[in-house]
Amino acid sequence: MDSRIAAVLILVGLGGGPTGCAPNRNVFGDLSTPYHKALNSMTRERSFFDVDQVKYLTTVTYETKELQQAYVEEYAKRYELPPDKKNEMLARQLAETRDYDVFFVSHFTSDRKSARITADPNVWRLTLSNDPSGQTVEEPFSVTPMTSNDPVLQYFHPYVTHWSKTFRVKFKSLGEGPYRQLRMTGVVAQLAFVWNPP
């Protein structure tokens, strides 16, 4: 037997292996922590498949106050944050949701030129509305590219793949009303993501 394998077996047998609580998973192997359940409830997806390829697959999560609270709980649990650090983190997250409507976007397209999302209209124009008629819209305050192969990002957003581009999109807050419609429009497609329809 390889000496390294023997050493591992001895450690496990003596209880010297990794300790801590593994994240909850359902029968399909998907993460099912309270945070991930909240994530799923606030995530929307649009896709288009051609006969031989995926034209686009876009997934958007609306980072509400409730989701941010669940995120901080899960982050603090995984990283064993002391109460003061956890409270500081929660205060930062809630301050952001008070001032902005924030969305996490994972975007895959078979055309590289269509993969980029920017605050100024280019291939895609992003708008946000709290008006079901769509007459009043807000342009993005900022669009920040993220690193898709970051293991922390992939844990908190399991739908992200190595092939998708990821962005954090911020709009100035539209207020307390629950309805939100994020639109991605352009020559490629017109995509609508809706939360809390009337």
Arithmetic mean of pLDDT, 51-67: 84
- What is the structure's pLDDT at 50? 66
Q: Which residues pair with 142 in a beta bridge?
A: 170
- Nearest CA to 106 among 68, 64, 159, 40? 159
Q: Quote the CA–CA distance of 127 and 155 in Å, as a whole number.
A: 28
Tokens of 138: 């807000």
Q: Give the highest mean pLDDT range of 3-12, 27-36, 93-102.
A: 93-102
> What is the pTM for the complete model shown?
0.82
Distance of alpha carbon 97 from alpha carbon 102, whole angstroms = 7
Give me 153's structure tokens.
């990002």
- pLDDT bin (cut points 50, 70, 90) of residue 52 is low
Region of 130 (left: φ > 0; alpha: ψ -120 to 50; beta: rest) is alpha
